[in-house]
Amino acid sequence: MLGRGFLLGAAVGCVLGVYIAPHLGRPTAGMGNFSESNLPQLNILRAVPEKATWPTDDQAKARLFGLSKWDLSKHGNGSKVIVNRCIRIADTEIACELSAPLRWITGETQIEALFQGKDGDWKMIAAKNR
């Protein structure tokens, strides 16, 4: 039922796992403690900006319609864009999850958008339907 190659691969994998597992907790030579390394540290508190600094729902709606080249005056009434959550990806850029119940589409559309901040205003530079 199972091929010889599969069984041989599983056996080799088990042997390597048993051999390598005890060494995983030890620091490697020259690396020292991970916290002392030169790798950039991710500050989680800085990565999740306060909601007051996010684009407003109205800003997100205007930027989404502008980026998509939809007519805001024609399709804007009855359509909403809601900023659910955001995460900072650079000093002036944040990625946000949007939900958009659009008038001409049945149901709610989930959108991922990238905003770039400048002088207290947000510009949507990319958007993708999920």
Using one digit for the tens of pLDDT, what is the confidence trace for 3-40?
Answer: 777 777 777 776 667 667 666 666 555 555 545 444 45
Are the C-beta atoms of residues 125 and 114 closer than 8 Å to each other?
A: yes
Rg, Å, the chain Cα set: 24
Vertex 50 angle, CA 49 and 51, to 5°: 115
What's the mean pLDDT in 74-85?
86
pLDDT score, position 38: 47
**Average per-residue pLDDT for the chain:** 78
- On whether the CB atoms of residues 65 and 102 are closer than 8 A, the answer is no
Once rounded to an integer, what is the mean pLDDT over residues 43-69? 79
* C-alpha 84, offset from chain centre: 13
Mean pLDDT, rounded, for 104-109: 84
